[in-house]
Amino acid sequence: MSVSLRSATVNDLPHITAIYRDSVLNGTASYEITPPNEEEMAGRFQAIQEKAYPYIVAEDQGGAFLGYAYASAFRTRPAYRWMVEDSIYLAPEARGHGVGGLLLKALVESCQTLGFRQMIAVIGGAHPASVAVHRSAGFTEVGLLKGTGYKHGRWLDTMLMQKALGDGAESDPDLGVYPGTLFEG
């Protein structure tokens, strides 16, 4: 499958909303129960864009929308500003074809270029395919939270995985680079 990646735009919101809707209704990646509408997704998209976090979409050669990934704040307190959380959602037909790995690789590279030092994956349902994609991208398991969500008639665990970006915690960050501008004092 030939895949191209690009930055997301507001014109992608119908596709983003549809993919997320499927994930909410049929999957465990999100612990939401009721899928948000396009207006709510537009607000979420805008909040990520305003902070200049990367938001990437994947399409096939014919322009079919395959999935999307974005980074966002793991927590909003200033000392966390060097850490981002990744999110990846795929259309059902794109799963198992390497699209998630391509999106994750591009997201990691973009966040590293922006000066972030850590990326964390909060994997709902401890989904084996998502764990495998993150592991193949160099993430390590840092925790398993048992019984954190109840969805589809069962209790779900949440896997936490982490990857150092750039120097990680081996050196002090440059307080004048991008991540330091994301949060107010």
Backbone angles phi, psi at 91, to 5 degrees: -65, 145
| Collapsed DSSP state (helix, strand, coil) of residue 126 | coil
* Identity of the residue numbered 140: T
Split into its structural domains, the chain has a count of 1
Residue 74: domain span: 3-181
The CATH number for 10's domain is 3.40.630.30
Q: What is the DSSP letter of 88?
A: E
What pLDDT does residue 178 have?
61
- Rounded to whole angstroms, the Cα distance separating 94 from 100 reads 8
What pLDDT does residue 185 have?
42
| Collapsed DSSP state (helix, strand, coil) of residue 81 | coil
Q: Are 182 and 49 in contact (CB under 8 A)?
A: no
What pLDDT does residue 76 have?
86
What pLDDT does residue 168 have?
95
Average pLDDT of each block of 10 consecutive residues along the chain (185 residues)? 94 98 96 98 95 95 96 90 96 96 98 94 95 98 97 97 96 73 49
Q: Would the pTM of this model clear 0.85, i.e. be above it?
A: yes
Radius of gyration of the chain (CA): 16
Distances in whole angstroms, Cα of residue 184 to Cα of each of 76, 136, 150: 9, 35, 35
Strands 83-90 and 55-60: unpaired
